Amino acid sequence: MSVEILVLEGDGISDEIMAPTIKVLGAVAGDLDYHYLPFGGKSIDLYDNPLTPHTLGACRRASAVLLAAVGGPKWDSTDPSAPRPEQGLLDLRKELGLFANLRPAKPFPALYDASPIKQERLEGTDLLVVRELTGGIYFGKRGIDPVTGKTIDTCEYSPEEVERIAHVAFKAARTKVTSVDKANVMDTSKLWRRIVTEVQAESYPNMPLEHLLIDNATQRLGFVPSDFDVILADNLFGDILSDEAAMVAGSIGMLPSASLGEAGTPGVFEPVHGSAPDIAGMGVANPLAMFLSGAMMLRHGLGRSDEATAVETAVEQALNDGLRTADLGGSDSTADATKAVLNNIK
């Protein structure tokens, strides 16, 4: 029996990195059945809506959802009523209840020289950013006063929202959880810190917990990333920290992610990077983060750890053999990267 995977056709380099990802996944899991629907800017062009009800329904029925990236200058607008590709992504997360975003950052030894962080500080780094994905300032009340021009974006969190993402972080931790907030200023952060502390005391008393202000966390992540195991953060801070973690991997083109909800809900798996419209159509995009997102789909979405490991090992071996796309300081094309990974799949 085939497993249905919904592929959301996005913008920019999306098609260029999604097609080879399907080839890589096919080499380790031949029973996956892929269905394609437009999303983001592509859907706006067709339906004036980045996420149509039909596409949303298909996402709910799928076993998992694969997405490359959305957005681009074509759809940029100062008109707040104009549809935006990114709004489709926010709506998808909200409608599917994908409250937990997992973003691992582990440097490949072959790419130590691609990172601005010194090798001795990179060695031993294997961290995971657990980002709350459906609350906070991205989903709070917002608006512009047409008379005064005053603009608001409201950060809101309930105790229940903080509690459920805290459980995800503690369950994933091996040595400690570092919870990031701005509790010296923001009331939502004060709530965040209190609830996380209570969850640890009540359910995970043997797992160390430390609290860091976002200012300190960004500095330490860039200076000594090996200090971290699991970083727990709200929507905004998690977004910032997971992008900063690109320094650990050597390029944002190396970072995958998984967005998960309650058991039985299909997850969405996508690279951290954007749609890179400046290189779209040139065949030079780095597809490795998309490959690794596919591996996360296999592991977290379909429960196929062996197949996921096969993809991850093939990526690492390709890098060990010298694969370097432009963002990694080399000249290998998307096709070169795909061939190198496929040749190493066992």
189-207: per-residue pLDDT in tens? 999 999 999 999 999 999 9
Residue 45 bears catalytic tag: no
Q: Which candidate, 257, 178, 238, 236, places its Cα nearest to that of 210?
A: 178
Q: Which candidate, 313, 249, 243, 222, places its Cα nearest to that of 114?
A: 249
Residue count of the chain: 346
Question: What number is the average pLDDT over the span 168-173?
Answer: 98
Q: How far apart are CA 306 and CA 298, in angstroms?
A: 9
Residue 215 bears catalytic tag: yes
Would you say the C-alpha torsion 269, 271, 272, 276 has a positive or negative sign?
Answer: negative
- Of these residues, 182, 229, 234, 327, which one is catalytic? 182
Q: Give the count of alpha carbons within 13 A of 222, CB side only.
A: 10
- Of these residues, 15, 126, 227, 243, which one is catalytic? 243
- Of these residues, 33, 45, 48, 215, which one is catalytic? 215
On the question of pLDDT at 1 being above 70, the answer is no
How does strand 32-38 pair with strand 3-9?
Answer: parallel
Question: What number is the average pLDDT over the span 242-268?
Answer: 91
Q: Which of 10-14, 50-54, 129-133, 263-267 has the lowest mean pLDDT?
A: 263-267
Q: Are 231 and 180 in contact (CB under 8 A)?
A: yes
Instruction: Report domain 116-249's class.
Output: alpha beta
Q: Where residue 114 falls among pLDDT bands split at 50, 70, 90?
A: confident
Q: In what order do the strands lie in the sheet with 100-105?
A: 32-38, 3-9, 64-67, 268-271, 256-260, 100-105, 127-132, 230-233, 177-181, 209-213
Give the start-to-end residue ranges of the domains of the chain: 1-99+252-346, 116-249
Residue 239 bears catalytic tag: yes
Residue 145 bears catalytic tag: no
Supply 233's token pair.
Answer: 């953060």
Enter the pTM of the model: 0.92
Residue 229 bears catalytic tag: no
Describe the crossing of helices 288-296 and 14-28 by its angle, rounded to 10 degrees: 50
CATH fold of 1-99+252-346 reads Isopropylmalate Dehydrogenase (3.40.718)
- Of these residues, 11, 181, 229, 239, which one is catalytic? 239
Model pLDDT, residue 325: 96
Q: How far apart are CA 34 and CA 8, in angstroms?
A: 10
Q: How far apart are CA 324 and CA 179, in angstroms?
A: 34
With a CB cutoff of 8 Å and minimum separation 6, the contacts of 230 are 127, 128, 129, 130, 169, 170, 172, 173, 174, 176, 177, 178
Residue type for position 318: A
Would you say the C-alpha torsion 26, 29, 30, 35 has a positive or negative sign?
Answer: negative
Q: Is there a common fold for 1-99+252-346 and 116-249?
A: yes
Q: Which candidate, 160, 155, 156, 239, places its Cα nearest to that of 199?
A: 160
On the question of pLDDT at 82 being above 90, the answer is no
On the question of pLDDT at 2 being above 90, the answer is no
Task: Kindly report the backbone phi and psi dihedral angles of residue 112, in degrees, each rounded to the nearest multiple of 5, phi listed first.
Answer: -55, -40
Q: How far apart are CA 302 and CA 294, in angstroms?
A: 11
Q: Where residue 59 falls among pLDDT bands split at 50, 70, 90?
A: very high
Q: Which of 20-24, 57-61, 139-143 has the lowest mean pLDDT?
A: 139-143
Q: Which candidate, 181, 256, 177, places its Cα nearest to that of 218?
A: 181
